[in-house]
Structure 1
Amino acid sequence: MANERPYIICLMQTSVDGKILSEKWGDKPAIKKLAGKFEEIHENIGIGAWIVGRTTMEKDFTDFAKPVFKKGHHEINREDFVAKQSADSFAIAIDGGAKLGWKEPTMQGDHVITILTEAVPDAYLAHLQDIGVSYIFAGAEEVNLNTALKKLRSLFGIETLMLEGGAHINGSFLNEGLIDELHQLILPIADGTIETSTLFEIDPKVKKEGATLLKLERVKQIEDDVLWLTYKFK
């Protein structure tokens, strides 16, 4: 049930053709200024817990750092590790394969929680415990989002969570009916490429039938010709 998990708000910015922020947009000052709208609105909404997929985390935050494995022999039970339960804010990564490299327990001042599967190496868990990164298990070999979200609420008291990409993680949440609200910033940019990811992408092998209906709650034009659309999910 919804009240067993956090309320999920998806915040993303796209081009007018639905493509999510890409380095292919170039580095003109006007483009960089538009790209900064995301953080501006993130702060405006003011939710202290945000979640992204592994690809987004390593590209935008951990700078592709390699995973660290503690030397020596370790046998660690597959029990959730809560390093800091009462943090004011949380940076959460979905990383079932333990591919992210963590060097400290915070990301931009937010306490790090990583969502893993039970198949990850003991030496990886030992390193996370050493540096104080919290982790939870959400499946044997594949991450179960429902399990992960229930644990985020029960173990850390997270009642509202900001989902911020990438396309496949957004698609996974959408496919499972786990998004309550969408805030889409439409930038005055036309991407035009075929390969750039869109807002939601779902593997055809797991895609559930039909499209998802939304209800438009608000349309707001903000500075620099940006549209801020707010939808509720039916």
Structure 2
Amino acid sequence: MSKHPYVICLMMTSLDGKILGDKWGDSPQVQALTKSFEEVHEAIGNKAWIVGRTTMEKDFTHFAKPVYKESTHPLDRNDFVATRNAKSFAIAVDGQAKLGWESATMLGDHVITILTEVVQDSYLAHLQQIGVSYIFAGKDTVDLSVALEKLKALFGIETLMLEGGGRLNGSFLNAGLINEYNHVLLPLADGRIETSSVFEIEEKDRQFNSTLFSLEEVKRIENDVLWLRYKFTGQG
């Protein structure tokens, strides 16, 4: 039995593989297309999702600044499990503790943040006070394999939905940690050179030339949106 949760990467893209939907305008037609992502998310029905710091900051915490609370004593770098049996989890990878948390829940899901040991005691003190769970997954760089082991062992998370951004997806892909990829393909084109794509890996960090998947299922859903489901098969 794997020590890691089963990881499903779910992403929505334009026809040219771009992922930043906020650049596509807010016309009724575009809004009708982009709502497909949440519909597919709900259809998959998973109760734990994970995103990178940039995505969490832009789409969920809305650039809130970190909060610091003076601690009366030094805090050990032990994982803090505020709620073990939550029905659902919102998880952020934030190795350098840049996210500002004001609540222990996000969209009704219990928050878990993944940190490194370089974070300040005063940041941890605030998280403990408001009831945000945190785990450590490296001294100064996040080790995703360690993070996944802890998410399963400490919180009982068996299946995890990975939802961007491109760099976090790329890190999971590069480490061979994605079991399944679900692609929500919208009938629109972005055309911007600078817009991010689904998986982004720095060439100096690349472990494999390519990652291979097999197509398991294709569904045509509302508004000519395609939902494609792939299983991981290996590295090229």
Deviations 1:74-127 (A, max 9, x none): 410000000000111000000000000001100011000000000000000000
Please name the residue that 1:31 is paired with.
30
**TM-score, normalised by the number of residues in structure 1:** 0.98
2-11 or 113-122, which deviates more? 2-11
Please name the residue that 2:203 is paired with.
204
Please name the residue that 1:12 is paired with.
11
CA contact (8 A) 2:21 2:34 kept: no
Structure 1 spans left out of the alignment, 5+ residues:
none
**TM-score, normalised by the number of residues in structure 2:** 0.97
Tell me the secondary structure at the aligned position of residue 11 of structure 2.
strand
Matches within 5 A, 1:106-125: 106-125=105-124
Matches within 5 A, 1:6-85: 6-71=5-70, 73-85=72-84
Q: Counterparts of 1:72 and 1:88 in 2: how far apart (Å)?
A: 30
Q: Counterparts of 1:140 and 1:46 in 2: how far apart (Å)?
A: 34
Equivalent position amino acid for 2:15 in 1: V
CA contact (8 A) 1:13 1:184 kept: yes
Q: Share of identical aligned residues, percent?
A: 65
Asked whether 1:195 is paired with 2:201, we answer no
Structure 2 spans left out of the alignment, 5+ residues:
none
Q: Counterparts of 1:194 and 1:32 in 2: how far apart (Å)?
A: 23
Q: Counterparts of 1:87 and 1:22 in 2: how far apart (Å)?
A: 30
Runs of 4+ in 1 over 6 A off after TM superposition: none
Please name the residue that 1:185 is paired with.
184
Deviations 1:50-74 (A, max 9, x none): 0000000011100110000003554
Equivalent position amino acid for 1:220 in 2: K
Q: Counterparts of 2:148 and 2:46 in 1: how far apart (Å)?
A: 16
Q: Assess, with a 3 A threshold, how the Cα gap between structure 1 residues 139 and 72 changes in structure 2: closer, same or farther.
A: closer
Q: Counterparts of 2:87 and 2:12 in 1: how far apart (Å)?
A: 25
Tell me the secondary structure at the aligned position of residue 205 of structure 2.
coil
Please name the residue that 1:128 is paired with.
127
Deviations 1:149-182 (A, max 9, x none): 0000000000000000000000000000000001
CA contact (8 A) 1:21 1:35 kept: no
Q: CA deviation at 1:21?
A: 2.9
Q: Counterparts of 2:73 and 2:5 in 1: how far apart (Å)?
A: 33
Deviations 1:178-212 (A, max 9, x none): 00001000000100000000010001110113111
Please name the residue that 1:163 is paired with.
162
Tell me the secondary structure at the aligned position of residue 160 of structure 2.
strand
Q: CA deviation at 1:26?
A: 1.1
Please name the residue that 2:149 is paired with.
150
CA contact (8 A) 1:74 1:126 kept: no
Q: Counterparts of 2:185 and 2:66 in 1: how far apart (Å)?
A: 35
CA contact (8 A) 2:213 2:230 kept: yes
Q: Counterparts of 2:194 and 2:9 in 1: how far apart (Å)?
A: 22
